[in-house]
Homo-oligomer: A and B are copies of this chain.
Amino acid sequence: MERKTEELKAELQELVSKLLAYNQATGVMYYDAATIAPRGGAADRGNTLAVLSQVIYELQTGEATGVLLHALDERKAELDPITARQVSELLRDYDRTKKIPMEEYVAYQVLLNEADAVWHKAKVESDWPAFQPYMEKIVAFNRKLAAYLAPEKEPYDALLDQYERGLTMEKLDAFFSVLKEELVPLIRRIAAEGRQPEDVFAGKEFPVEQQRKLSDWLMEAIGIDREYCSIGETEHPFTTGWSKHDVRITTHYHLEEPLSSLYSVVHEGGHALYELHVADELQGTVLAGGAAMSIHECQSRFFENIIGRSRGFVHNLLPELQKLFPEQMAGITEEQLYRAANVAQPSLIRTEADELTYSLHVLLRYELEKQLIAGTLEVKDLPRAWNAKMKEYLGLDVPADRRGVLQDSHWSGGSIGYFPSYALGSAYGAQLLAKIRQSLDVDAVIASGDLAPIRAWLTERVWSKGSLYDPQDIFLQAAEEPFDPHYYTRYLVEKYSAVYGL
């Protein structure tokens, strides 16, 4: 009996090795496609991805896989925690993926490869009609997917569950209503009474070559080991990785907006730090990635906002900016830079939105996705609906779809139900900050320029655990109390009341 379990475990390890290999191969191809691949190669790449994703489907759902996983599941008591967790995760994938017919699964991967190339061009040219047919297919697939995965659930709940286990519209509606209730009055007050700082970067250019050097400094400043993490350039910043030894972040440089890439690098750097600090014993298993998108966004938004936009970080950042851009930064004070990094002002682009209005961008997407999946909004009407909500929540007119419905890469990447993770992650981060403050003088650590104590806290409580536990359990282990969105709203109200002297 004992020997049999060892054999099964060896067989599991072989399956996992193959899955990780195919995931890396397809992942590198997607990364390559987003960074340097010539555009014209999309169709050929589609053929290759079809071949590889068919193998992945077969590895995940094949009969041998089912027999193996069920056999191991039956003797769970004998398994070490890492193996047991791998079995339950793979069994979950097995049950879920098996519900999707292989041809549809593979066709969807091919569609996404194509949609990504089309979206990229459509965004640059602000050409919604070019992307609309792809978005229609993506929404149609996701509606079918929801029915395959959990026919007993509301379709959008089935999709949310993919990114955050157990997340539902009911929970999100409650969460967003707290945010709306407590943040919208503050946003209105700032608009009415707050004095907006002057735009100290207006009319200046920040050469990309120098911005690249700034990225190097930022990665060093937050503690990324470049031996295991590289930086590329893409239309839309993202992070990807295949183990703690190979993580990639990307950014996008805007000549006239140095803070755009700056905070993208710190945001993606937060994602990277998480992956780079998963425990060694989880490497080579399916648990070596982050636990869920909300926990991931918690790390990235924590680094971007709580650390990156703090007074201490700005204090250390200013001399570096002055060194790299002596003319452009001449005469800019620390207070001016801090205010520039913490402007609260309705804006069009989510990734560049300030901390305070950010969650309204997420809310807008959440509400539109709900309607698309429920079938109460047609894809062709999406730009109009987007623009109407932008006016309603943020008071802004959208001048071009490039800066509206086409701005994000998530939908073209097939992710519907992902956006709420951003707001949830931000809220998780504020609650963790309160917890960290119980044992660390966070402001002093940031001001010291050496974030090691914060990284150590997060490594112990969150990062090292990879996907060994469910995301809500990881959050609970770290925060030591249930999630409460009021930590987030209090943090924002306190910070921005101070920034705007209200």
Asked if A40 contacts B245 (CB within 8 A), the reply is: yes
Asked if B38 contacts A35 (CB within 8 A), the reply is: no
Q: Which of A65-73, A228-236, A358-366, A432-440 contacts B (4 or more CB under 8 A)?
A: A228-236
A39 at the binding interface (Cβ < 8 Å): yes
Asked if A41 contacts B245 (CB within 8 A), the reply is: yes
Nearest to A32 among chain B residues (CB) is B28
Nearest to A14 among chain B residues (CB) is B51
Chain B positions within 8 Å of A39 at CB level? 227
Chain B positions within 8 Å of A178 at CB level? none
Interface of chain A residues 15 through 51 with chain B (CB within 8 A): 17-18, 20-22, 24-26, 28-29, 31-32, 35-41, 43-45, 47-48, 50-51
Q: Which listed residue, B45, B208, B246, touches A37 by the CB 8 Å rule?
A: B246
Chain B positions within 8 Å of A243 at CB level? 41, 44
- Closest Cβ of chain B to A354, distance in Å, is 31
- Closest Cβ of chain B to A103, distance in Å, is 16
Asked if B29 contacts A230 (CB within 8 A), the reply is: no
The CA of A367 and the CA of B409, in the complex, are separated in Å by 54
Chain B positions within 8 Å of A446 at CB level? none
A411 at the binding interface (Cβ < 8 Å): no
Given A32-B31, A32-B32; A20-B48 close (CB under 8 Å): yes
A247 at the binding interface (Cβ < 8 Å): yes
Task: Mark contacts of A218-259 with chain B using CB atoms, 8 A cut-off: 1 yes-contact digit, 0 otherwise.
Answer: 000000011111101000000000110111100000000000
Asked if A40 contacts B248 (CB within 8 A), the reply is: no
The CA of A204 and the CA of B478, in the complex, are separated in Å by 56
Asked if A44 contacts B242 (CB within 8 A), the reply is: yes
A52 at the binding interface (Cβ < 8 Å): yes
The CA of A422 and the CA of B39, in the complex, are separated in Å by 31
The CA of A208 and the CA of B20, in the complex, are separated in Å by 37
A209 at the binding interface (Cβ < 8 Å): yes
Q: Which listed residue, B36, B41, B47, B245, touches A21 by the CB 8 Å rule?
A: B47
Asked if B51 contacts A246 (CB within 8 A), the reply is: no
Asked if B29 contacts A25 (CB within 8 A), the reply is: yes
Nearest to A43 among chain B residues (CB) is B245
The CA of A28 and the CA of B41, in the complex, are separated in Å by 12
Asked if B247 contacts A38 (CB within 8 A), the reply is: yes
Asked if A52 contacts B36 (CB within 8 A), the reply is: no
Chain B positions within 8 Å of A22 at CB level? 51
- Closest Cβ of chain B to A371, distance in Å, is 37
Given A41-B246, A246-B40, A246-B45; A52-B21 close (CB under 8 Å): yes
Chain B positions within 8 Å of A24 at CB level? 29, 44-45, 48
The CA of A105 and the CA of B435, in the complex, are separated in Å by 54
Nearest to A283 among chain B residues (CB) is B44
Given A21-B52, A28-B32, A44-B245; A38-B228 close (CB under 8 Å): yes
Nearest to A232 among chain B residues (CB) is B36
Given A32-B31, A245-B43, A245-B44; A25-B52 close (CB under 8 Å): yes
**Which of A17, A25, A227, A229 has the largest number of chain B CB atoms within 10 A?**
A25
Asked if B48 contacts A230 (CB within 8 A), the reply is: no
Task: Mark contacts of A366-394 with chain B using CB atoms, 8 A cut-off: 1 yes-contact digit, 0 otherwise.
Answer: 00000000000000000000000000000
- Closest Cβ of chain B to A398, distance in Å, is 30
Given A36-B248, A47-B17; A41-B232 close (CB under 8 Å): no
Chain B positions within 8 Å of A17 at CB level? 47, 51
Interface of chain A residues 245 through 283 with chain B (CB within 8 A): 245-248
The CA of A381 and the CA of B355, in the complex, are separated in Å by 63
Chain B positions within 8 Å of A40 at CB level? 225, 227-228, 245-246
26 A–B contacts from the bound complex (CB under 8 Å): A17-B51, A18-B51, A20-B47, A24-B29, A24-B48, A28-B28, A28-B29, A28-B32, A28-B37, A31-B32, A36-B36, A36-B232, A36-B248, A37-B230, A38-B226, A38-B230, A38-B245, A38-B247, A40-B228, A41-B245, A44-B242, A44-B243, A44-B245, A47-B284, A48-B242, A207-B209
Contacts A21-B52, A25-B29, A36-B230 known; list 5 others, CB within 8 Å.
A38-B248, A40-B245, A44-B245, A44-B246, A48-B242
Instruction: Show the binding face of A for B, using Cβ within 8 Å.
Output: 17-18, 20-22, 24-26, 28-29, 31-32, 35-41, 43-45, 47-48, 50-52, 207-209, 225-230, 232, 242-243, 245-248, 284
